[in-house]
Amino acid sequence: MRKERDDNMTITVAGEKKEVKEGLTLPELILLEKVETPEYVTVSVNEEFVASDKVADTVLKEGDNVEFLYFMGGGCHGIDR
């Protein structure tokens, strides 16, 4: 029988439950998730946006819900002026 390690926790990333090490930081999660162009990603934890100057210091906790949001610009395709 496999014994669960006490130094793991469960978080939800983009709707998927994941077991990660306790005390995981947001930058570590960004690397683990292989986020493309992280400098252009906005992160929310528990539906609260994380300010870009706070990302490096953000430590995740058991049960946190993390979303990576990619904002894209667009035009006015199909709109007559």
What is the dihedral sign for C-alpha 51, 53, 54, 56?
Answer: positive
Question: Domain 8-70 is of which CATH architecture?
Answer: Roll (3.10)
- Residue 49 CB partners (closer than 8 Å, separation 6+): 42, 43
What is the value of pTM for the model shown? 0.79
- The model's pLDDT over 25-77, given as tens digits with 9 standing for 90+, comes to 999 999 999 998 888 899 999 999 999 999 999 999 999 999 999 877 666 65
In this structure, are strands 65-70 and 48-49 parallel, antiparallel, or unpaired? unpaired
Q: Which residues of 28-46 are buried (b: 16+ CB within 10 A; e: fewer)?
A: ebbeeeeeeeeeebebebe
Residue spans of the domains in the chain: they are 8-70
